A and B are shown apart, each in its own frame.
Chain A
């Protein structure tokens, strides 16, 4: 019944009640859940068990969640394990820092359980797609078709004239619907050998991409204080 059967999630969260909410709901959705209320122990569990995903609170009593994220993402044995940050802080700087360290997504407390589960599944889907190989050569979403080989974008069948930078930004975003990219990450994606993009210009380029997407402009969403993402389509 569940596609998630046998997928293991490690939850690191110091608040007992929130931990129970996460554990209960993930288990009900068919995940194999392992929990830790401490950062050090959580880190060890991830290193030993190599789960399919880590749900990581950022504010832990012993070892900071951002430090755990840094250690997992800098170790070849654990760097491919997706990390979803769960934090009470609405501080965008922490979120940007975490995404910069390689975290795959985040959710802020208080959160809606249904949304959390959907986001967990989306991160797992993206991780599975990434394991299967390079981004799709051709991405179709609503009336937009992005062709990586031809380097062209069709909007309702009409050719949209995107610059190289704009194309790279749109392709990166659309290759991972739902994933939030920070401006730094988008800059890396947009920089080819010959293109230099300044941080602040990302906003200008995104503005221009949206304009060229016409009535589909809202597919490129602003995540306030953090960056941008391509809207995920409903299943």
Chain B
């Protein structure tokens, strides 16, 4: 028994250590940029005004990146530790989905991607937290856009069947190796080196999706072919009145 407990404690402390190391790395990268840019401005008093402005904008962007990372981290921590982290109430799933898309349609357009949306005509009634669901959809579509090159397509489909609703986000992007598919839902997944840094993610987006789906009584699955694209599928229970 002691051995089992000790093993379990060692595994926990190993995973805590890995988490702290990953977090330190994710914090250090924007911090290094902020410190480097600020140092440069302080060191070079005669710097030209346009460079000065560009450096200040970069400092601001990196500070926002740090702030988003901490927001994601706190939300994730709340979701993992408490069943009451979200306020579930009756809502039409199409509303948070539409709200998330509002922000992302221009991003897809700017990148030259076709964003195709397929929502049910009838309301999709679930017990949910609108803000969290907006975030869930936003993270999935944002990822699809990030990992799909110019000229590709991203689909968002919401459907209902057998007492549950499915949110599917499909893309024609770079895809994910079979070996890494389970790990993408881990915090700070770095299976594919540099994936997160290269695309400016916080490394927490899919971990949040998984926890938000779980707190809603649902789950998230992934199917993907490297080079062809990925499909993330979130299944959530419908409220009794809207079950088909």
Contact = CB atoms under 8 A, between A and B. Distances in A.
Interface of A: 14-15, 17-18, 20-22, 24-25, 28, 59-62, 64, 88-91, 109-114
B40 A113 contact: yes
B32 A113 contact: no
Nearest to A63: B193
A21 B197 contact: no
B39 interface: yes
Nearest to B198: A61
B194 A60 contact: yes
B25 interface: yes
A59 B44 contact: no
Contacts of B37: 17, 21
A15 B195 contact: no
B161 interface: no
Contacts of A18: 29, 32-33, 36
30 contacts: A14-B194, A14-B197, A15-B29, A15-B32, A15-B33, A17-B33, A18-B36, A20-B58, A21-B33, A21-B39, A21-B40, A22-B36, A25-B44, A28-B44, A60-B194, A61-B195, A61-B197, A61-B198, A88-B25, A88-B32, A90-B24, A90-B28, A109-B28, A109-B29, A109-B31, A110-B32, A110-B35, A110-B36, A113-B36, A113-B43
Given A15-B33, A22-B36, A61-B194, 8 more contacts: A14-B198, A15-B197, A18-B29, A21-B36, A61-B193, A62-B193, A88-B32, A110-B31
Taking each of B29, B36, B39, B194, which has the highest tally of chain A beta carbons within 10 Å of its own beta carbon? B36
A17 B197 contact: no
A77 B193 CA distance: 29
Contact of B32 (A24, A25, A91, A111): A111
Interface in B82-124: none
**Chain A contact surface mostly:** loop
Contacts of A21: 33, 36-37, 39-40
Contacts, number: 71
B75 interface: no
A9 to B, nearest CB: 16
A202 to B, nearest CB: 27
B62 interface: yes
Interface in B191-229: 193-195, 197-198
Contacts of B198: 14, 61
Contacts of B33: 15, 17-18, 21
A113 to B, nearest CB: 4
Contacts of B24: 90
Taking each of A17, A22, A64, A113, which has the highest tally of chain B beta carbons within 10 Å of its own beta carbon? A17
Contacts of B29: 15, 18, 88, 109
Taking each of A18, A28, A60, A111, which has the highest tally of chain B beta carbons within 10 Å of its own beta carbon? A18
A22 B39 CA distance: 11
A61 B34 CA distance: 21
A109 B58 CA distance: 17
B188 to A, nearest CB: 13
A17 B36 contact: yes
Contacts of B62: 17
B14 to A, nearest CB: 15
B54 to A, nearest CB: 9
A21 B51 CA distance: 11
A14 B37 CA distance: 16
Contacts of B25: 88-89
A20 B43 CA distance: 15
A62 to B, nearest CB: 8
